[in-house]
Amino acid sequence: MKKILLTLILATAYFGVSAKSGDAVEMLVDQVLEKTGDLLRGAGVRGGASVQAPGNQLIEVAFSPNEGSEDLVVKAIGSARSSIGVAAYSFTSPVIAKALLNAKRRGVDVRVVVDENGNKSKASLAALNLLVGAGIPTRTISRYAIHHDKYMVVDKSTVQTGSFNYSKAAAKSNSENVVVIWNNPDLALSYLKHWQDRFDQGREYRSTY
């Protein structure tokens, strides 16, 4: 029963499900499941659906708040055909989580490493639980004062980087930047080596459900 209640609490915080004090537990479960279905289904680029990457070397930039930063991150995820390596400080974004889950469903090898201390909120735990529940290898790292990396390596050829934390605040409230360097394998290899080193140092995250 405790596990069920914890799951509901985390999902409520993550999905923004609201329930009046008199609502039955079953009704809250239904709301959570409905929201979960919406997250997994997604639609278009916003849902992390497959998109075509540019055919040549190209640099794209976007900014926050509300100037395309989150959409550009999701576009990079949607372009993946084989692999995505994610390095993050704070991870709470339902939009980014949805895109990564959809990539996993397309057969992309998605792996994630995040700062341990920066991901102890209810929203972070819910996001990480979703990744692990979908079979995405996820690790936390605590060796450094802060694991402040914020980037993705896509298909060993494209890098998404910038100041953008994978959070709602980064998209809606903060002043942030996102840069995607398409089709630059040499740069991607440098980032991938750094990512692999941090992933290897990480500890397997186990779901709190």
Strand partners, 177: 63
Query: Is 150 noted as a catalytic residue in this protein?
Result: yes
The one catalytic residue among 148, 168, 194, 197? 148
Contact between 148 and 118 (Cβ < 8 Å): no
Q: Compute the distance between CA of residue 138 and CA of residue 112 in angstroms, rounded to an integer.
A: 5
Please report which residue ranges of the chain form alpha helices under DSSP H.
Answer: 2-15, 25-41, 69-78, 94-105, 122-133, 168-172, 185-201
The one catalytic residue among 75, 98, 104, 150? 150
Query: Is 194 noted as a catalytic residue in this protein?
Result: no
Q: Compute the distance between CA of residue 143 and CA of residue 51 in angstroms, rounded to an integer.
A: 36
User: 138-141 and 109-115 as β-strands: parallel, antiparallel, unpaired?
Assistant: parallel
Write the burial class of residue 200 (CB in 10 Å: 0-12 exposed, 13-18 middle, 19+ buried). Answer: exposed
Closest CA to 150 of 85, 208, 201, 97: 85
Query: Is 155 noted as a catalytic residue in this protein?
Result: yes
Instruction: State CA 103 to chain mean position distance.
Output: 11
Active-site residue list: 148, 150, 155
